[in-house]
Amino acid sequence: MISRGLIIACIASFVLGCVGPAPYQEYTLSEAAMASAKAANASLYSPGVWSQAEEAYFEAKKHFKEREYDDAAVKFEEARRLAERAENISRLKKFQSGESF
């Protein structure tokens, strides 16, 4: 007869083994987008969108650290999209005001 502990251990290892691949590409792309937005002074020229991007990025990193890769991938994609938007707004506002990039 199989012990309950062995059954629980088998189920736990099966569930933990079902974790999908880590979203390294999404992580890298969102990290690059955040750096570009920061370099464009997005926090100054587009504070609302920049704040949303930061929040999504930090949530994504939290999910990544906790091995919740599906949630992390979604949040990294959201952070990338928002960071790119914040960067574009910043560059447009700089251009309209006559500032250099």
The CA–CA distances, whole Å, from 60 to 5, 6, 32, 87 equal 34, 34, 14, 19
Residue range 5-22, pLDDT digits in tens: 656 655 655 555 456 899
Count of CA atoms in the C-beta half-sphere (13 A) of 42:
22
Contact (Cβ atoms closer than 8 angstroms) between residue 22 and residue 3? no
Residue range 49-68, pLDDT digits in tens: 999 999 999 999 999 999 99
List of residues 6+ apart from 20 with CB closer than 8 A: 69, 70
